[in-house]
Amino acid sequence: MGKLVVSQASLSYCFFLLILIILPGGKPMKKLTALISLVAGAGMMLAISVTQAGTASETIAQAEVDIAAANDARAVWRLLDPVSGGKAVPLDKLLKAAKAKLDANEEAEAIRIAEKISWAARAGIAQSEAQKDASPVYY
């Protein structure tokens, strides 16, 4: 099962539900109608499930963008990961593993790998930018 990502829509439904519970005078309502509760709950569940469904493919797509940026900056790292058998492999190879995990319906593992790829790509770019003017220092 993928990570639970709370979207702005689901937070809006929670806020809407809180407004319905509390009257303008600040006194809690004694009872919510069944229809209002059902609509608010269904809206929250729909927003959460739609957000969950897109996260694995979106995370992998973001990892692809991050790898491309790292390639442009010539700052590609190699990573150790259990998926690679404990060997340091290029980010492209880990991306293929993440896609394979997604195809095998292992979304949590695909997200974990893709997030690790994105982190490494961004860290490589940051390192490259920080050290582009580096030179030896003699004391």
Domain ranges of the chain: 8-130
**Residue 135 — left, alpha, or beta (φ > 0 → left; ψ -120 to 50 → alpha)?**
beta
| pLDDT tens string 6-55 | 445 455 555 555 555 554 454 445 455 555 555 555 555 555 444 444 68
Check: CB of residue 59 under 8 Å from CB of residue 114.
Answer: yes
- Give me the mean pLDDT over the 113-124 stretch: 95
pLDDT digits (tens, 9 = 90+) for 52-75: 446 889 999 999 999 999 999 999
Q: What angle do CA 131, 134, 138 make, to 5 degrees?
A: 145
Euclidean distance between CA atoms 70 and 138, whole angstroms: 31
pTM for the whole structure: 0.59
pLDDT at 115: 95
